[in-house]
Amino acid sequence: MLTNEEKRVIVYTDASQPTVSSEVTPETPLEDLSLNWRERDLPEKERTKHVHRLHPYLGKFIPQLVEVFLRKYFLPGQTMLDPFCGSGTALVQANEQGINSTGCDVSAFNALLCRAKTVHYDHAKLRREVLDILERTRIRTHTNVHQLLLWPDEQSFRPISETDDRYLNTWFAPQALNELLTYRALIETGGYEYQDLLKVILSRSARSARLTTHFDLDFPKRPQTEPYWCYKHSRECYPTTEAFKFIERYSLDTLRRVQEFAARRTNAWVTIYHADSREVIFPPIDGIITSPPYVGLIDYHEQHAYAYHLLGLDDKREKEIGPAVNGSSQKAQRQYQQDIATVFNRVMERMAGGGRLVVVANDRAHLYPEIANLIGVETEGIVQRHVNRRTGRRSSEFYESIFIWRKR
């Protein structure tokens, strides 16, 4: 049940007058914010602009939501922390607005993705590297032995077609796996500077090249090896057997997206930790914007299992907070509250009094008021936002709460 104090600070947004995020200022009252954007207010192209769609990621907030609260509570030159930085949405948006940022995530893949999105690139060199490894992969996987003699640098290459990894052998057809492993070997041996970005291209390609139905890329249960009726295309489809077409497509898309972000980015610095936020000693910060994991909803390591197996990433899933595998029992909820409170108490040690914590949560179990009590913050507002998922298997609606807390 909500306390009288909580009822006093709840703000219900008005969907008929959607907020333009770029027009928000520190003086904009919370009650004037309307964050229930519809498709016509905020089309997908804007929600997934530039590097925000370098790689699919479940459970992320949209950049416009982050921008609203960065503009309201932070000034250029200040430092924002996201202790659950996920795919790096808050870090990218902070940089756009000249705000320094620190991010932390226990997932090695998330840290990799954040680095790839936020690093400064020499774009001419980046383009050369992306196109070079693409062409070398094509030569090694789409030419016969006699044709390889035309490329002296490739004569010593021995085709890669086998791996002992059971996951990779189960979820990829032989041709697709050979193309993915070839690209991976070239990352390791090609002397490329921007390996993190190349790994993101490889991971995104692997996600699309798995033996799964076209309509179930988010939650595949078992490999699809036979023709099937496709609900996405309304016809009979066949399992994917190749990966190179995805590598090529995503290579070009990645170059375009990185270039688009380069036109917007600033010189604000970004620091990323691959670690458990309950254990990190963070640098001084001015405030927090974050969307913590939801209890019992997503296994964040498992959603990128293909990347962990293909790239050999350090798997720390046992340190995830509120993973789906642990369920959402009352015991799991109590442990979740304690873990989230531990993180916030730790980061507030590095934040001056008066600093804000903006926390986006789908708090159906009403866990966050107790977390606020555990960390001793003042609740300035709770903005209720209507979320309309527009596409795919997740085309549902729900309400999420945005807690604005102030350090006393």
Least confident window among 14-18, 178-182, 337-341: 14-18
**Higher pLDDT pick, 288 / 159:** 288
- How confident is the model over 111-122, as a mean pLDDT? 98
pLDDT(7) > 70: no
State the Cα–Cα distance between residues 201 and 129, nearest whole angstrom.
12
Predicted pLDDT at 394: 47
Predicted pLDDT at 393: 44
Percent of the chain with pLDDT over 70: 89
Predicted pLDDT at 299: 86
Segment 319-351, tens digit of pLDDT: 999 999 999 999 999 999 999 999 999 999 999
The answer on 11 and 49 residing in a single domain is yes
The answer on 102 and 157 residing in a single domain is no
Residues in the chain: 408
pLDDT(196) > 90: yes
pLDDT(150) > 60: no
400-257-95 Cα angle (round to 5): 60
The answer on 366 and 242 residing in a single domain is no
How remote is the C-alpha of 78 from its chain's centroid? 23
How do strand 100-105 and strand 79-82 relate by DSSP bridges? parallel
Predicted TM-score of the model (pTM): 0.91
Tally of domains in the chain: 2
- How confident is the model over 114-131, as a mean pLDDT? 98
- How confident is the model over 191-214, as a mean pLDDT? 96
pLDDT(156) > 60: no
The answer on 67 and 10 residing in a single domain is yes
CB atoms within 10 A of CB 283: 11
Segment 52-61, tens digit of pLDDT: 999 999 888 9
The answer on 54 and 34 residing in a single domain is yes
**Higher pLDDT pick, 11 / 206:** 206
Segment 260-269, tens digit of pLDDT: 999 999 999 9
The answer on 130 and 256 residing in a single domain is yes
State the Cα–Cα distance between residues 285 and 348, nearest whole angstrom.
9
CB atoms within 10 A of CB 400: 19
The answer on 110 and 81 residing in a single domain is yes
Predicted pLDDT at 399: 80
The answer on 169 and 226 residing in a single domain is yes
pLDDT(297) > 90: no
pLDDT band at 47 (very low <50, low <70, confident <90, very high): very high
Predicted pLDDT at 133: 98
**Higher pLDDT pick, 263 / 148:** 263
The answer on 65 and 12 residing in a single domain is yes
For the chain, give the longest Cα–Cα distance. Answer: 79
Are 113 and 88 in contact, with CB atoms under 8 Å apart?
yes
Segment 206-221, tens digit of pLDDT: 999 999 998 888 878 8
Predicted pLDDT at 392: 45
The answer on 332 and 288 residing in a single domain is yes
State the Cα–Cα distance between residues 166 and 168, nearest whole angstrom.
6
- Domain end among 209, 230, 261: 261
Segment 68-104, tens digit of pLDDT: 999 999 999 999 999 999 999 999 999 999 999 999 9
Q: Say which CATH number the domain at 319 has.
A: 3.40.50.150
Predicted pLDDT at 153: 57
The answer on 392 and 318 residing in a single domain is yes
CA torsion sign, 73 to 75 to 81 to 87? positive
Please list, in sequence order, all residues whose beta carbon lies within 8 angstroms of the beta carbon of residue 344, skipping any fewer than 6 positions away: 83, 288, 357, 371, 375, 377
pLDDT(134) > 80: yes
- Domain end among 238, 261, 284: 261
- How confident is the model over 37-63, as a mean pLDDT? 91
Q: Give the chain's mean pLDDT.
A: 90
Q: CB pairs under 8 A, 24+ apart, for 336-341? A: 336/295, 336/367, 337/367, 337/370, 337/371, 337/374, 338/374, 339/278, 340/292, 340/371, 341/371, 341/374, 341/375
How remote is the C-alpha of 62 from its chain's centroid? 10
Predicted pLDDT at 162: 76
Nearest Cα to Cα of residue 181 among 315, 56, 312, 316: 312
The answer on 244 and 114 residing in a single domain is no
Here the tokens at position 357 are: 């914590």
- Domain end among 211, 237, 261: 261
> 150 is in which domain, residue-wise?
123-261
